Homo-oligomer: A and B are copies of this chain.
Amino acid sequence: MKPRPSAPAPYHHGDLRRALIAAALALVTEEQDWTFSLREVARRAGVSQSAPYNHFADKRDLLAAVAVAGFHQLRDGLVAAVTGLDDTPDAFAACLRTYVRLGMRNPALYRLMFGPELTESKGAKRPREVAEAGGEAKSILERIIRDGATSGVFAVPTGPNGQPLALATFIAWSAVHGLTMLVIDKLTGELVPVQRAIEAAIAVQLDGVRGGARAASTRQRGAAASAVERDG
């Protein structure tokens, strides 16, 4: 069978772009950073050093595609963790847990997604696709908080103005983000059971969205104190 010139049968194996993203993601995962060279990525994909420039403007652009892949993993993980959970507080906690878990499973990927490399800085804007994929993941958390607010489980005012909801989401998100960063950056110190610390931090945030009153009436001292007590 001859090759059919009518189907141009692209030079490489059909989709060098995808192959490069896969190679870069593998390198991020193996080496736990992105200091590897673009030439190394090309080598892995079996092409010349300059071939990637047919598909990406520069190294940063390739890394952006990797980050998008990471956000899709996160989105899928969040959806999987949340579906089937009727209780909103449970869904909220599951959501936070998923963030931390992705970070622990692949710290470098997590850092790439949320870190300064692809963030607005030095004149370069955050790549559009990265911002979009990131927004998707954030919106899942936001939806859960809105659900809790409308059902009255969470003490977050609802209404036409989205600010309170955005603020509540931001607070919870920043807490879980910091938690993840400290854990993956090994800054937990002598905290022996990291998993317990994670649960305690999540409990504090849950209290935060619930408002103190409910938590106090059922437990007298709030989630933080109880969690702390359990571990003492």
Contact = CB atoms under 8 A, between A and B. Distances in A.
Interface in A115-168: 115-116, 119-122, 126, 134-135, 138, 155-157, 159, 161, 163-164, 166-168
A219 interface: yes
Interface stretch (A4-12, A66-74, A176-184): A176-184
Given A170-B191, A185-B119, A186-B120, A208 B211 contact: no
A33 interface: yes
The A contact surface, by secondary structure, is: helix
* Chain A interface residue number, banded: 35 or more
A219 to B, nearest CB: 7
Contacts of A178: 173-181
Given A33-B121, A177-B181, A178-B175, A170 B157 contact: no
Contacts of A56: none
A23 interface: no
